[in-house]
Structure 1
C-alpha cells in the first residue's frame, strides 16, 4: 500500500492529521530555513514501466500538505506503474518529485548545505556519494538539479550540517564519521 505522513499536535494526540499520502519508504527528512519539509524516498521493488530493469528511481520530495505522491500506482516523475493499476490520468494528479536519483542508489540521509541554503545534500548509500541538489523554481514548479558533491564513500548514511558551517557524513561500511569543511 501507500505510505501516509501524519501531523501530530501534542495538545491533540487523539486527532492526527494526514499531511501527505502516496509515499514509499520515506527514509530521510529535513526542514529547510523556510520550515518546509523535504524527504527522500527509496523506490525499491519492481514496477512495470520503469526503465532500469523494472526498478523505479529514488526521489527527493518537498512535502506539500494534502498532496498525493502517487505510490503504489505511480513512481518517479508521475510515471504509471502498469502492474499496480497506474494510469496517466491518475499520475497527472500526483505531486511530482523535486529531483530523481538513480534506481537502487538508496538516499538514506539529507541535510541543508551549511554553505548554501538553496542546496540540499543527499547521502546515497549504494550510490557511494553525497549528491548536491540545487533547488529552484521552473515553470511554477520546484525542481532540483543534481550533481555529485563528494564521491568515493563506502556507504554514506547520515548527514548533519553543523552551526560552524561544516558537515558530518557517517560512512557505515568504513565505520567512520567524516567532517567536511568548505575550501578556503
Structure 2
C-alpha cells in the first residue's frame, strides 16, 4: 500500500496513511519539539545577559546553499521516479547525497571558524547553543543520508518507480523538512545573535 486509501469502517470510509509515513511524521514532530525547546531555551538564556556577539562562520552561507540545492535535486529525483526515468532518478539521488555530505563537512569546518574566534562548546552559552543547534541538525542530516542511501540502493534494484513511491516520498518529505529546519536555525541564530 503506497498511497493513502479509503478503508470502509461500517458505513463510513476512513482515510488511512501508510504506517511508515505515519511513524516518520511522528519522528518529525518529535524533532521539531526538540528544536523549539532549544530555541526557547536560547531566548531565555540570552535574556539573562552576558551574551557576546558572535560572528557566524562564513561557511554557514555555503552550507545553506548546499542544503537548498540538495532539496532541489531530491525533488527532481522524486519527479523522475514518478516518470520511471531511472537514470535521472539515480543521478539526482547521488547528487543529493553528495550535496548533503558537503553540508555536513561544511558544518564541521565551520566549527573550526568558531574555534578561531575563541568560541567553544564549553564556556559562554552563546557558543554552546551554536554547537548544539548545528551538531543536532548535522546528526539528523546524517540519518537522512543513510535513508537516502537505502532509497538509492532500492532504486538500483528497480524497487523505486512510479508504482512504488512510498520510500522516496518519505525520504523527500524528511529531506525538505531538514532543509527547512536548517533555514529556520540559520535565520533564528542570525536574528537572535
Q: Which interval holds the TM-score relative to the shorter structure?
A: under 0.3
TM-score by length of 1: 0.21
Specify the structure having the higher radius of gyration (Cα). Answer: 2
TM-score, normalization by structure 2:
0.21
Structure number with greater CO (CA < 8 Å, separation at least 6) is 2
Going by fraction, where is helix more abundant, 1 or 2?
A: 2
Between structures 1 and 2, the one with greater strand share: 1
